[in-house]
Structures are given as C-alpha cells and as structure tokens.
Amino acid sequence: MRVPGSRWGLLPKAASWLLVAFFAIRYTGGLYAWVTENRLEQPAYTVVRRLGHGVELRRYEAYNVAEATMKASLKEAASGGFRLCAGYLFGKNVPRERAGFLRPPPPEDVPGETMDMTAPVRQALAPSRGARTVKVSFVMSRKRPLGSLPVPRSAKVHLRTVPAHYAALVRFSGPPPTDDVVAKQEAVVRKAIEATGGAVRPVGKETLVLGYHDPFLVPNLLRRNEVGLMVTVAPDTLRE
C-alpha cells in the first residue's frame, strides 16, 4: 500500500546523508592537504629558548624569497601578493640562462620553469596609519642558490636573500589572521620579550605573519599560523 507523501518524508533523510557525505569529503581532502603541506620544505631554524606564553625564540639560517610588496589591507595584500608569488613559482618566469640582462623579459613563448612549493607563506607588515605596506613572499628551496633562480616576468616580484636572524614567534591555529588577531598575538610576543629584561629586543618595525597551510582546504583547527618579530639576542640568552 502506497502511503501518501512518503516520498517527501525521504527528502530530509537524503539531505542529511548528502550533508554527511559533503563533510566527509571536505575533511578527508582537508586532512590530506594538511599532511601533504606538513611535508613541504621550510627554512632551517633552531629553537634557542622558549620564552613563555607559547613564544619560541628561533635562530633562522639565511634563505631566499620571491617577494611582492603590496600597499593595501592585510587581506587584499595577502591575496594579491600570493597570486604574484605563486605565478612566479609556477611558471611566470624566465630561466636564468635564457634571460640574460634583457629588460623587458623575453617573449611569452619562452617557457618558464615550475618550482616546488614550500612553506610558509611569509608576510612582513609595516606599521602604517593609512594603507598598510605588506611584503608577501614565498620561500625558495635551499637547493637553489639565489643566482640560479629564474627571473620573474612580473616587475612586482623581486628575489632577495633574508640573512640569518633571530625571531620570536607564537603559534596558533585558525583561519588566516585578521589585523585584530595579528595585533593580539603580537602583544603576546612583546610581553614574552619584555619578560627577558632586555636580553631579547625587537629589531626593525615589521611584524611577521607566517601561514603554513592552505586557507581553503585545510580545516581551521589544523591550520598553523605564526606571528612574531625579528629580534636581537644578548649572548647570555643563548644559555639555558
């Protein structure tokens, strides 16, 4: 016997199954992306000390970056700078041996070089009362000396070496941080630095924001973000 309306009674159940399937696919894909991105090459560093409040004092070895400087909001700069640097990494470049000293670069029919993705995406935020200046950069593989890297096609992308340095950074999960979140985490770092009584001091005016995972695929709970400052360190600080 056919029960009137029974077909409609199945709709909520079907919708529930579709929702479960969607989240299963979403988080399975996100977990895969998280595992894959955790294996990406990163700049070499050593944790020198833990300063409290979850802040690590690190010594970084020198590394090379492809960098784009944007004058915009943090969100706009991150998006625009990411596209420029990703474009360079994935082929919008001219192999060094083909580029020579020509400006503008050779025609588009000269094929570019595709390089391996690394982590993190690095942002250096300068203080500003108006539009913020943000340097967005991709770290280049340690296997490639600066002089061997292909030449960017975009005049907005520059290659440079970040010298060996110390940095104090705090780690947290969540979506790509907003200006408010960056300010809150920077305050945590500064408090930990102040507690050293001058043994560790900020150097320069830029705030570092590091993102290690895809903001769309990886669930926010698993995403690794870091905010910090470059610092100078008194010799006694290097001894526990």
At residue 216 the predicted structure's pLDDT band, cuts being 50, 70 and 90, is confident
Q: Would you call 221 exposed, middle or buried from its count of C-beta atoms within 10 A (0-12, 13-18, 19+)?
A: exposed
Query: Which whole-number Å values give the CA distances from 114 to 105, 106, 152, 180, in the listed order?
Result: 17, 17, 12, 36
Of 79-83, 150-154, 227-231, which one has max mean pLDDT? 227-231
So what's the pLDDT on residue 200? 96
Per the structure block, which two tokens stand in for 92?
A: 């919008």
Q: In this predicted model, what pLDDT tens digit does every residue of 122-137 receive, in sequence order?
A: 999 998 766 678 999 9
User: What's 38-238's CATH class?
Assistant: alpha beta
* Assessment of whether the complete model's pTM goes beyond 0.95: no
Q: In whole angstroms, what is the distance from residue 97 CA to residue 76 CA?
A: 34
So what's the pLDDT on residue 135? 95
Task: State the average pLDDT for the chain.
Answer: 85
Domain layout of the chain by residue ranges: 38-238
Q: In whole angstroms, what is the distance from residue 70 CA to residue 134 CA?
A: 5
Q: In whole angstroms, what is the distance from residue 16 CA to residue 39 CA?
A: 35
Q: What is the DSSP letter of 42?
A: -
